[in-house]
Amino acid sequence: MINFNIRSSPQTHSGQNLTQMMMRILYALVPALIAYVWFFGWGIVINILLAVVTALCCEALMLKLRQRPIKLFLTDGSAIVTATLLAMALPPLMPWWLTMLGVAFAIIIAKHLYGGLGFNPFNPAMVGYVMLLISFPLEMTGWSAPLTLVDYNLSFVDSFSVIFTGQIVNGLQLDALTMATPLDMLKSELRLEHTVAESLSSHPVFGLMGGVGWEWINLAILVGGAWLIYKKVITWHVPAGLLGALFIIAAVFYGIDSEHYASPLFHIMSGAAIFAAFFIATDPVTAPTTPLGRVIFGAGIGVLAYVIRTWGGYPEGIAFAVLLMNMVAPTIDHYYQPRVFGHRKK
pLDDT tens across 83-135, in order? Answer: 999 999 999 989 999 999 999 999 999 999 998 888 999 999 999 999 999 99
Q: Give the pLDDT confidence score for residue 1 in this predicted structure.
A: 46
- Please tell me what DSSP assigns to residue 312: S
Collapsing DSSP to helix, strand or coil, 211 comes out as: strand
Q: Does residue 67 come out as left (phi exceeding 0), alpha (psi in the -120 to 50 range) or beta?
A: left
146 contacts 76 by C-beta, under 8 angstroms = no
Instruction: Round to whole Å and give the CA distance between 80 and 86.
Output: 10
**Using one digit for the tens of pLDDT, what is the confidence trace for 167-211?**
776 666 666 777 888 898 898 888 888 999 888 888 888 888 888
66 contacts 10 by C-beta, under 8 angstroms = no
From the list 103, 105, 101, 107, the residue with the least C-alpha distance to 66 is 107
From the list 83, 95, 179, 168, the residue with the least C-alpha distance to 135 is 95
**Could you tell me which residues come within 8 angstroms of residue 241 by beta carbon, excluding any fewer than 6 positions away?**
294, 295, 296, 297, 298, 299, 300, 301, 302
* 288: confidence class by pLDDT, cuts 50, 70, 90: very high
- Please tell me what DSSP assigns to residue 257: -
